[in-house]
Chains A and B, each alone.
Chain A
Amino acid sequence: MENRNSIIRTEVLCKSFLVDGEVNNIIKNMDLDIYEGDFTVIMGSSGSGKSTLLYSLSGMDQVTTGKVLLDGEDITKMSEKKMAGFRKEKIGFVFQGINLIPNLNVYENILSPTYKTKRNKKEIEEEIDSLLERFDMAEQKKKFPTQLSGGQRQRIAICRALINHPKILFADEPTGALNSSQGKHVLDVFSQIHQDGQSVVMVTHDLKAACRGNRILFLRDGRIDGELHLGRYQKEEEKDREEQLYHFLQERGW
Chain B
Amino acid sequence: MWLKNFRNRKLQTLLVGIIILLCALLLSTSMSILLSLREPMEQLVEECQSADALIYPNERENPQKVKEVAKRLEALDEVSKAKCLQVHYVTEKITSKDKEVTTFTNLTKYDADVFGKIRCVEGNTEDFQNLQEDECIIPACISVDNDIMLGDTLTIHFPKEEISYTVKGIYADIYSTSNAFDNYILVKELPDQIPEEMLIRIYTTQLFTEEQILDCYEETYGHALEGQMNTKENALEASLLAVQILGGILLAIGVIMLFTCCLIINFVLRSIMTADAKTIAIYKTIGYDNYTIRNLYEKFYIVLTTLSVWIGVGVSVVVANQILNELFANIGMEANVKVGKTGLFIYVIILLLVLITVHLVTSRMKNMKPIHALGGMSPTNTTKNQHFKGNYRFAFSPMGIASRMVMRDKKGAIGVLFVAIVSVIGINFGLVSLDVALNMKENNDYWLGVYKSDIKITVSSGATVEELLEELEEDGNIQKAVPCRMSGVLIVEREKNRKDAVVYPFVYGDYEEVDMPIVEGRNPQNGKEIALAGKVAETLQKDVGDYITLNFGQFTKSFLITGLYQTYYNLGESCRLTKDAFEEVPFSYDTVSVYLNDNQDIPGEVERIEKLLNGSGNVIPRTEQFASIMEMISQPQESAIPVVILMVVLIGSINIFCIIMLKNQKEVKVNSIYKCLGYTSGHLMAANVCYVSLLAIVSILTAVPILLYLYPMIMKLTLGTMFGLLEYRVNYNMVHIILGNIAVFGIFMLSTFISSGGIRKVHVRDLVIE
> Are A102 and B381 CB-contacts (below 8 A) given A55-B768, A96-B769, A108-B395?
yes
Is A227's CB within 8 Å of the partner chain B? no
CB atoms of A111 and B385 under 8 A apart: no
The residue in chain A whose Cβ has the minimal distance to the Cβ of B407 is A103
B680 interface hit (Cβ, 8 Å): yes
Q: B415-423, B649-657, B668-676: which one contacts chain A?
A: B668-676
Residue of A nearest to B676 (CB): A93
Select which of B405, B675, B768 is within 8 A of A103 by beta carbon: B405
Instruction: Quote the shortest CB–CB distance from B481 to chain A (angstroms).
Output: 74
The contact of B380 among A80, A105, A125, A146, by CB within 8 Å, is A146
- A residues 73-131 near B (Cβ < 8 Å) are 80-81, 84-89, 93, 95-97, 99-105, 107-108, 111-116, 121, 124-125
B385 cross-chain contacts in A, Cβ below 8 A: 105, 142-144, 147
B740-770 interface with A by 8 A CB criterion? 764-765, 767-770
Question: Do the beta carbons of B392 and A114 come within 8 Å of each other?
Answer: yes
The answer, among B381, B672, B674, for a CB contact under 8 Å with A146, is: B381
Q: Which single residue of chain B is at the shortest CB-CB distance from A90? A: B678
Residues A147 and B381 in contact, CB atoms below 8 Å apart = yes
B677-713 CB contacts (< 8 Å) to partner A:
677-682
Interface contact B678-A88, CB-CB below 8 Å: yes
Set of chain B residues within 8 Å of A87, measured between Cβ atoms: 676-678
Which B residues between 36 and 91 are near A, CB-CB below 8 angstroms?
none
Closest A residue by C-beta to B393 = A115
Does residue B388 face the partner (Cβ distance < 8 Å to A)?
Answer: yes
Complex alpha-carbon distance, A87 and B683, angstroms: 15
How many chain A residues sit at the interface, stated as a range, is 35 or more
**Cβ–Cβ < 8 Å partners of A125 in chain B:** 392
Q: Which residues of A contact B678 (CB under 8 A)?
A: 84-89, 113, 115
Does A12 count as interface, using CB distance less than 8 angstroms? no
Decide yes or no whether B193 CB sits under 8 A from chain A. no
CB of A84 within 8 A of CB of B679, answer: yes
Least CB separation from B770: chain A residue = A51
Contact with A along B358-391 (1 / 0, CB 8 A): 0000000000000000000011110101111000
Report whether B381 and A99 are in contact in the complex, using a CB–CB cutoff of 8 Å: no
Q: Is A172 an interface residue (CB 8 A)?
A: yes
How many B residues, CB 8 Å from partner? 37
- B681 close to A51 (CB less than 8 A): no
Q: Which of A81, A87, A112, A147 has the most CB atoms of chain B within a 10 A radius of its CB?
A: A112
CB atoms of B769 and A80 under 8 A apart: no
Minimum CB distance partner of B671 in chain A: A101
Q: Which residues of A contact B392 (CB under 8 A)?
A: 111, 114, 121, 124-125
Q: Assess the A144–B381 pair: CB atoms within 8 A.
A: yes
Within 8 A of B (CB), among A44-96: 51, 55, 60-61, 80-81, 84-89, 93, 95-96
Interface residues of A in 124-174 (CB under 8 A from B): 124-125, 142-147, 160, 172-173
On whether the beta carbons of B677 and A102 are closer than 8 Å, the reply is no
Cα separation A30 to B571 with both chains bound (whole Å): 89
Give Cα A124–Cα B388 distance, bound, in whole angstroms.
13
Interface centre among A97, A114, A115 (most CB of B within 10 A): A115
Q: In whole angstroms, how far apart are the Cα atoms of A68 and B673 in the complex?
A: 22
Q: Which one of A61, A86, A96, A115 lies within 8 Å of B397 (CB-CB)?
A: A115
Q: Is B679's CB under 8 angstroms from A115's CB?
A: yes
Bound together, the chains give a CA A60 to CA B674 distance in angstroms of 13
Taking the complex as formed, is B409 at the interface, i.e. its CB lies under 8 A from any CB of chain A?
A: yes
Report the Cα distance A116→B686, complex, angstroms: 15
- In the complex with contacts A51-B768, A124-B392, A160-B677 CB distance below 8 A: yes
Cross-chain contact of B768 among A84, A85, A95, A177 (Cβ < 8 A): A95
Interface residue? B736 (CB, 8 A): no
**Do the beta carbons of B395 and A61 come within 8 Å of each other?**
no
Nearest A residue (CB) for B682? A81
Q: Which residues of the partner chain A approach B767 to less than 8 Å between Cβ atoms?
A: 60, 95, 97, 99
Please, which residues of chain B bring their CB within 8 A of the CB of A177? 769
Q: Are B768 and A172 in contact (CB under 8 A)?
A: yes
**Closest partner residue, chain B, to A95 (CB atom):** B767
**Distance of A48 from chain B, by nearest CB (Å):** 14
Q: Is the CB of B387 within 8 A of A80?
A: no
Interface centre among B669, B672, B673, B682 (most CB of A within 10 A): B673
Report Cα–Cα, A80/B669, bound state, in Å: 18
- Whole-angstrom distance between the alpha carbons of A173 and B163 in the complex? 100
Distance of A108 Cα from B383 Cα, bound (Å): 14
Ranked nearest first, the 8 interchain pairs of A and B with the lowest CB-CB distance are: A88-B678, A115-B396, A146-B381, A142-B385, A87-B678, A113-B677, A84-B680, A103-B408
Please list 22 pairs of residues, one from A and one from B, whose beta carbons are closer than 8 Å in the complex, sorted by A's number.
A51-B768, A60-B765, A60-B767, A80-B681, A81-B682, A85-B678, A87-B677, A88-B678, A89-B678, A93-B676, A95-B768, A95-B769, A100-B673, A105-B385, A111-B388, A111-B396, A115-B397, A116-B393, A121-B393, A142-B386, A147-B381, A173-B769
Residues of A within 8 A of B (CB): 51, 55, 60-61, 80-81, 84-89, 93, 95-97, 99-105, 107-108, 111-116, 121, 124-125, 142-147, 160, 172-173, 176-177
